Amino acid sequence: MSLVARHAALTDIGRQRQTNEDSLLAAPPLFAVADGMGGARAGEVASRLAIEALDELVRTEAPDAEDAAASLAEAAAEANRRIYAAAGSERALRGMGTTLTALLLRDDRGHLAHVGDSRAYLLREGALTQLTDDHSLVAEMVREGKLTADAAASHPMRSILSRALGTEPDTEVDLLETHLRAGDVLLLCSDGLSGPVPEEKLRKALAGGDPQRAVRRLIDEALRLGGPDNITAVVVRLEAGEGPADASNGKTQVADEPAVTQDPPDSDAAPAEAPGAVAEDDLAAPQADQAGADGSGARRRWWRWAVSRGSAESPA
């Protein structure tokens, strides 16, 4: 039996930020979320560079199933190099970085590459599973038994990453592979969704079945809970279908340019736009609005030492 992917993607600036530093890619069979951070608007640049590298190196190369993981790993490494180089070449971009959670569908497999605290979830038969591990200080403390999950959820340092793309010359990327079946629903999201919205609410929104309705409901839920951060959700639903034995459905090479376009970091504030756009069904052109809007609210903190510490702990 073949699998066909239906998807929807939506990003929203949230209620407290002045810029949207999240970027996304929804170009079947490739999907990704990147959550950038850095001074001024450098976070936008970092997340966009990550998505562009992925789009360029994975989507256009269209790797075979056996090359999927290597292709994702190389794209993440190249994104890391590009962001690190850009950060070193311009003062305003210094120290920028980004998360990246990317999904490539091949045959009946989902291949994931992951750095940072954006997340991938799988809903199967009503049960929601987080596929990725957060690379954050508090998540590491939870894994080490030094902090409870409940305490981590409200910890003042919960936004501090232990690993990111672009902050060091090299970075370690988690590669995962998951077997997929008809009825599975995958969610990629930034912490602006998974932070405020409890997993039970995520589960309920995804269980509705329709990706477009799910992303709208997820974003609305995060906004209702205060929208403290930029919110991004990509939902992919796998269905039994005719066609090539490929979850991408083999007919959706539509994106000729990166899905997300953003203002350069030194431009004036972007005009306010309607937040979010939806790319829905497996033939839709990927798109994502990056809304600029008024708002106060603290920018996500980025502590370089935290990343250094995380890298130092990784075995060489």
**Interacting residues toward Mg ion by CB under 5 A:** 35, 190-192, 229
Q: Give 11 or 249: the residue with its C-beta nearer to Mg ion.
A: 11
Task: Provide, rounded to whole angstroms, the least separation between the CB of residue 60 and Mg ion.
Answer: 28
Task: Note whether 36 and 73 are within 8 A (CB).
Answer: no
Task: Provide, rounded to whole angstroms, the least separation between the CB of residue 190 and Mg ion.
Answer: 5
Task: Provide, rounded to whole angstroms, the least separation between the CB of residue 187 and Mg ion.
Answer: 15
Instruction: Answer left, alpha or beta for residue 303, where phi above 0 means left and psi between -120 and 50 means alpha.
Output: beta
Q: Give 78 or 117: the residue with its C-beta nearer to Mg ion.
A: 117
Task: Provide, rounded to whole angstroms, the least separation between the CB of residue 312 and Mg ion.
Answer: 24
Q: Give 35 or 55: the residue with its C-beta nearer to Mg ion.
A: 35
Strand, coil or helix: what is 72? helix
Task: Provide, rounded to whole angstroms, the least separation between the CB of residue 192 and Mg ion.
Answer: 5
Task: Provide, rounded to whole angstroms, the least separation between the CB of residue 49 and Mg ion.
Answer: 17
Task: Provide, rounded to whole angstroms, the least separation between the CB of residue 117 and Mg ion.
Answer: 8
5 forms bridges with which residues in the sheet? 238
Helix (H) / strand (E) containing 73? helix 68-89
Q: Give 35 or 168: the residue with its C-beta nearer to Mg ion.
A: 35
Q: Which residues contact 286 (CB under 8 A, 6 or more apart)?
A: 9, 25, 26, 27, 254, 255, 259, 279
Q: How far is residue 260's CA from residue 294's CA, in Å, rounded to a whole number?
A: 21
Q: How far is residue 185's CA from residue 31's CA, in Å, rounded to a whole number?
A: 13
Q: Give 57 or 307: the residue with its C-beta nearer to Mg ion.
A: 307
Token couple for 54: 């992925």
Q: Which residues contact 31 (CB under 8 A, 6 or more apart)?
A: 7, 9, 24, 25, 102, 103, 104, 105, 186, 188, 234, 236
236 forms bridges with which residues in the sheet? 7, 186
Q: Give 6 or 299: the residue with its C-beta nearer to Mg ion.
A: 299
